[in-house]
Structure 1
Amino acid sequence: MPGWVAAGPEGIPAYTLARAGAAMNAAFARRLAAVGLRPHTFSVLVHLAREPALTSAELARRLAMTPQSMSSLLHGLADAGWVERPSGARRGQRIDVRLTPAGRQALAAAGPVLAELGRPEAMGLTAEEAGTLHALLERVLAAVDTTDRPRRTP
């Protein structure tokens, strides 16, 4: 048996990072649920708040979702009144999705929840450790990210 198997996966940094990511994803989802949002919903609202008009295809690429999944998600967001999508567009015509005032309100409600989750103490870290962790995670992302979205340089 290889030594790393006998020692257990806890000694493998990538394994620990994956476990920490899964735990943080679960905490992120729980906190967003408290204000009526889900992670993908939150991400769509953030993208639309930053860029006032994006197509469904652009959003799907940014969130690494299929166009069909994005269409379904946007349908739910439109039903909730958080986004608007013009109807009656012709084939090949650009159809922009826009954030509504209600969508901005929903996004604003997430602010305090995310601020609490992002506090270094909530992650068991000091402010200095949180800064170091953030810088290291950015480096890991730059090294392993194979999507075609723009990369930030540390």
Structure 2
Amino acid sequence: MRVTPQTTGRVLKRAQYRNHRAADRALAAIGTTLVQWDALRAIDEAPSSSAHALAVATFQSDQSFGTLAARLVAQDLIERAPGRGRRVEHRLTDAGKRMLAAGQAVTAEVTARSFAELSAAELGTLHALLERVGVPVD
């Protein structure tokens, strides 16, 4: 196979898909999904963030994040409160903090397995290269 930006993009997408599928399967065992766990992670990293900021941080539309946040509230994993202006702020509940911690252990193990075939040097090179991919050229 000839290596082109298109074939490389597909290989990258396939690796991401495999990692996400493995994480979803492992997270299901503790009662959550990758999307839900990622939202908890984003809320934990940026407490009191707006729904829009959290949607951007989790690669979702504002509407999708709003639907997800409503599910997380119903599961008592987050709370939403009025902020400045029309802003709605998000915070983890105690149950959300426990789910986040459990999910971090699960995803760390899955990610370690996903990258197990790479040496530390190869992982560093891959990281550096991926940091450059998709950067707009002015």
TM-score, L = length of structure 2: 0.79
Q: Return 5+ residue gaps in structure 1 as ranges.
A: 145-154
Matched, 1:51 2:30: no
Assess, with a 3 A threshold, how the Cα gap between structure 1 residues 143 and 123 changes in structure 2: closer, same or farther: farther
> What pairs with 1:69-148 in structure 2 (closer than 5 Å)?
69-86=64-81, 92-119=85-112, 123-142=116-135
Over alpha carbons, which structure has the higher Rg? 1
Change (3 A) 1:96 1:26: same
Aligned partner of 2:27 among 32, 37, 57: 32
SS across alignment from 2:135: helix
1:54–1:96 contact (8 Å) kept in structure 2: yes
Q: Is the 8 A contact 1:48 1:98 kept in 2?
A: yes
Distance 1:16 1:93, change over 3 A: closer
Compute the displacement of 1:143 (Å).
5.5
Q: 4+ runs of 1 displaced by more than 6 Å?
A: none
Which consecutive unaligned segments of at least 5 residues does structure 2 have? none
Identity among equivalent pairs (%): 35
Task: Write the distance in 2 (CA, Å) between the matches of 1:143 and 1:21.
Answer: 22
C-alpha RMSD over aligned residues = 2.8
Question: Taking CA–CA contacts closer than 8 Å with sequence separation of 6 or more, which of the two structures ends up with the larger relative contact order?
Answer: 2
Task: Give the TM-score normalised by the residue count of structure 1.
Answer: 0.72
> 3-state SS of the aligned residue for 2:12?
helix
Q: Report the Cα distance in structure 1 between the residues aligned to 2:93 and 2:54, rounded to whole angstroms.
A: 16
> Letter of the aligned partner of 2:75 in structure 1?
A
Is 1:19–2:14 an aligned residue pair? Answer: yes
2:39 partner letter: V
Aligned length, in residue pairs: 134
